[in-house]
Amino acid sequence: MTIRITGTGSALPEKIVTNFDLQELVDTSDEWIQKRTGIAQRRVSTGETVSTLAAKACQKALEMSGKTVEEVELILVATCSPELLLPCCACQVQDSIGASNAVAFDLNAACAGFLFGLNTAYAYLQSGIYKNALIVGSEVLSKLVDWNDRGTCILFGDGAGAAFVEAAEADIVCENGRRAGLECIVQGSDGAKGMVLSCVERTLNSAFFSGNKIENLFIQMDGQEVYKFATKQVPACIQQALDKSGMTVNDVDWFLLHQANVRIIESVAKHLKADIAKFPMNIHDVGNMSSATIPVLLDACCRSGKIKKGDRIVLSGFGAGLTYGASVLVW
Ligand code: ACO
């Protein structure tokens, strides 16, 4: 038994904010941002929410899979920026798409969230508890960003991506002889380094809280520490996943990495001695959307025909927590 992704979908806010727009807000330049990050523009919510974007992405993924909403058994939303603490975003999505037979809950593994969601679904589906799942990464990070902080506000964007996964027999052979489905997962966490990328919860107990008043409620990041973590841990965990599945870098057609920064992706390709042409990117147009980056990219690659049946893909996510992981699958 394995799992296969049979549908993908994505949804982005209408508003485009370019680097030139940001020059009006903070002391920065298009040149600096493009050179250090690879980002030229991002989408920013003017009203779209984590749940409305997620629901749209789910509807598209379901449409591609040919399944009905009534058939959905599990909805997992990975987010670190839900509009409500209660109820969870997955339940809002369940309600808005009408998937009344599904079990729905959120998980938060920041930028690795979609990957951790996929791996969680893998465990549920492989054990036979559920037969299918909608996995979503959805974020509105624009509300967690300090628009006066040029070190962070240039990086992030809003959006949602979804994948519909189904339990499948492990013996579906593609034309190129590969067996379709998820081959292996590797994931890890390093809580000891968690504070290099953090955002403080806004709701303090108003009656009894006696600690120090928290001044900064926005995303805070030690960019260089995040960079070091990503460029060391990501190639290592991808290599570990390839070793575990008995594959080499040459057996992989596409590496779909969390879109944090072009320089991180280039460094990972170099460490792995893999051709950078195998690393599709969309960060130039949409920025870093945390848990949404991988499914939005996957959806684009799938709909454009870049990813074909039988292609072997490595998905790798990494981010706050710190969390990281890699999954190997044949499309
Ligand atoms: N525009 C112009 N100048 C800037 C900007 C900006 N937007 N931001 C910082 N600077 C300045 C700094 O003030 C500093 O000036 P100084 O030398 O006068 O003090 C100078 O540029 C260098 O600053 P650094 O922080 O050292 O810049 P660095 O080269 O490290 O680049 C960056 C910053 C792009 C964030 C880099 O550290 C990085 O890529 N880190 C990875 C973090 C990341 O990708 N995070 C995404 C979220 S986490 C995730 O998704 C996994």
Q: Which string of DSSP letters, residue by residue, matches 235-295?
A: HHHHHHHHHHTT--GGG-SEEEE--S-HHHHHHHHHHHT--GGGS---HHHH-B-GGGHHH
Alpha helices in 74-219 (DSSP H): 89-97, 113-126
Instruction: Tell me the mean pLDDT in the region 211-233.
Output: 87
- 151 Cα to the center of ligand 1, angstroms: 5
**Exactly one of 19, 132, 288, 301 is catalytic; which is it?**
288
- From the CA of 152, give the closest atom in ligand 1: 35
Evaluate: CB of 15 within 6 angstroms of ligand 1: no
Q: Which atom of ligand 1 is nearest to the CA of 37?
A: 34
Amino acid identity of 100?
S
Angle, vertex CA 330, rays to CA 325 and CA 331, nearest 5: 110
Q: What mean pLDDT is predicted for residues 6-13?
A: 98
pLDDT digits (tens, 9 = 90+) for 16-63: 999 999 999 999 999 999 999 999 999 999 999 999 999 999 999 999
Dist. CA 200–CA 152, nearest whole Å = 15
- Count CB atoms within 10 A of the CB of residue 222: 15
Asked whether the beta carbons of 317 and 329 are under 8 A apart, the reply is no
Q: 269: CA distance to ligand 1 center in Å?
A: 21
Give the model's pLDDT for residue 288. 97
* Residue 201 confidence (pLDDT): 78
CA of 212 from ligand 1 middle (Å) equals: 28
Q: Distance between the two ends of the chain, CA-based, in angstroms?
A: 15
Expressed in angstroms and rounded, the spacing between residue 323 Cα and the centre of ligand 1 is: 21
Q: What is the pLDDT of residues 54-100, one digit of tens each?
A: 999 999 999 999 999 999 999 999 999 999 989 999 999 999 999 99
Kindly state the tokens that stand for 86.
Answer: 């209660």
Q: Can 119 be counted among the known catalytic residues?
A: no
Please name the residues in contact with 312: beta carbons below 8 A apart, sequence gap of 6 or more.
178, 183, 247, 251, 252, 253, 254, 328, 329, 330, 331
Would you place residue 172 in the very low, low, confident or very high pLDDT band (cuts 50, 70, 90)? confident
Q: How confident is the model at residue 139 (pLDDT cuts 50, 70, 90)?
A: very high
Indicate which residue of 58, 89, 91, 111 is catalytic.
111
User: Is residue 258 annotated as a catalytic residue, yes or no?
Assistant: yes
- pLDDT tens per residue across span 297-331: 999 999 999 999 999 999 999 999 999 999 999 99
Number of H helices, E strands in the chain: 9, 13
For 285-297, what is each residue's pLDDT tens digit?
Answer: 999 999 999 999 9
* The Cα angle at residue 241 between residues 238 and 245, in degrees rounded to 5: 140
The best mutation among 31, 154, 227 to test binding of ligand 1, ranked by most ligand atoms within 8 Å of the C-beta, falls on 227
pLDDT of residue 1: 87
**Which residue among the candidates 258, 261, 282, 302 is catalytic per the annotation?**
258
Task: Provide, rounded to the nearest whole percent, the portion of the chain with pLDDT above 90.
Answer: 87
Instruction: With cut-offs at 50, 70 and 90, classify the pLDDT of residue 203.
Output: low
Q: Which segments within the chain are labelled E, that is strand?
A: 2-11, 16-18, 41-43, 74-78, 103-107, 132-139, 159-168, 181-189, 197-198, 220-221, 254-257, 312-319, 323-330
226 lines ligand 1 (CB under 6 A): yes
| Nearest atom (ligand 1) to Cα of 263 | 39
- Mean pLDDT in the chain? 94
Active site residue 261: no
- pTM recorded for the entire structure: 0.95
